[in-house]
Amino acid sequence: MIGVQPETISRYERGAIPLSLSQLFQIAEALGIGADVLLASMLKKELKARENWNCLNRWSVLDSRGKILVILLLRKLAP
């Protein structure tokens, strides 16, 4: 619908290739949504990925005792 191959769309979705502003508008139009909605969705996904990465970084700096404490805490919080 926007004149690119399905593999290109997949690369956009994975962030393997950059998405230009004109392509953003074309995709939004093809989906029948506003570019602002599409952009907000993309930003939310990016922020979530960064948040997950931040959590992994924090986990990786814990020593074994710290990791055990986190696991015990999570077990207490989970029903």
pLDDT digits (tens, 9 = 90+) for 24-78: 888 888 989 888 888 888 788 878 878 888 888 888 888 989 888 988 888 888 7
Give Cα 2 distance to the centre of its chain. Answer: 23
Q: Say which DSSP state 29 is in.
A: H
For residue 72, being part of any structural domain is answered with yes
The answer to whether the pTM exceeds 0.75 is: no
> What's the one-letter identity of residue 38?
L
Query: Is residue 63 in a domain?
Result: yes
pLDDT exceeds 70 at position 79: no
Say if 57 falls within a structural domain: yes
Q: Which domain holds residue 30?
A: 6-77
Res 75: pLDDT: 82
Q: Is residue 14 domain-resident?
A: yes
User: pLDDT digit string (tens) for 2-19?
Assistant: 888 999 989 888 888 888
Q: How many domains does the chain have?
A: 1
1 in any annotated domain: no
Contact 51, 43 (CB under 8 A): no
- Confidence (pLDDT) at 71: 86
